[in-house]
Structures are given as C-alpha cells and as structure tokens.
Copies of this chain bind each other. A is one copy, B any other.
Amino acid sequence: MPQRALEVICRKLHEHDYKLTRQRQVILEALMEHTACHLSAEEIYSIVKQRYPDIGLATVYRTLELLAELDILQKMDFDDGRSRYELNDGAVHHHHHLICVKCGRVIEFADDLLETLEAMVSRKTGFQVLDHHLKFYGLCGACRTADEG
C-alpha cells in the first residue's frame, strides 16, 4: 500500500463532504500499517489508542462503517463472532479467503476467476452481480502435514 494512497482516500472523503478528522486519519494510518491482517474493530481500537489515547471505541466503529460505505475498506466475517476489516487495494474484485478449520489461520488467494460463474448467475436468474464473497474451508498445508505425520 503506497503512502500516496492516504491522500487519495482523504480526497475521497472530501468529495463526499466528510470531514478529515485526526481520528479518521489515525485509523486509516493504522489500517495501512497492518494490511493483510484482518483486524477486528477492537484490535484497531487498541492499536489506535496507543497513538491517540483519547479516541473512543464508538468512533472506531463509526469510521469503519463510513469507510466500508465508501468502498475504502471491506467488512468481512470469518465466523469468529466479530467483524474484521481490510483496506481495499483498488481492484474491482477481491481475493478469496482460505480458512483453516483446524488452526483458524486465514490465507488469501489472489485469483478471482468467477466471471464465468457470475455471467451464468446473471443469465439464469436475472440477478445483477455487483460483488461477491468466497470463503474456502479446509486444511492449510501445515495442518495437513501435521495430520499425516
């Protein structure tokens, strides 16, 4: 994530008449320093609190909701009872997530490759696909070899 991305995001906020507060900046910085981490709101809160101790948890939630609305980040669910967040990289479609059912690790899989299926969905049902979330459950390489050994 290039440093310039922060400017781009700030401009996007501005375009939608949202103010650029220090809290929002700090939250964005924290997210940019922890890409591919799938942070929860509480985790983001504790990171941000080190740099800005007066921030409130509700502000973190409100900011995350706002950023998701502007497509700046993505709210995700890995079935662990809380939402997790990840900055978008600008691509139209996201990568997929591989969730290990044994150790709980979450691995990313870059290729999208759902165009064919999306086209078929649209043709068969009349549903216009705008986005998708695909999660694979299974055993990661480490747990697989641990099982065999």
Interface residues, chain A, with chain B CB atoms under 8 Å away? 77, 79, 96, 98, 100-101, 107, 109, 111, 113-114, 116-118, 120-121, 124-141, 144
Contact = CB atoms under 8 A, between A and B. Distances in A.
A121 B100 CA distance: 13
A141 B127 contact: yes
Nearest to A98: B127
A115 to B, nearest CB: 11
Contacts of A133: 133-135, 137
20 contacts: A77-B77, A98-B125, A98-B127, A101-B130, A107-B127, A109-B121, A109-B125, A111-B124, A113-B116, A113-B117, A126-B144, A127-B138, A129-B136, A129-B137, A130-B137, A132-B135, A132-B137, A133-B137, A134-B134, A134-B135
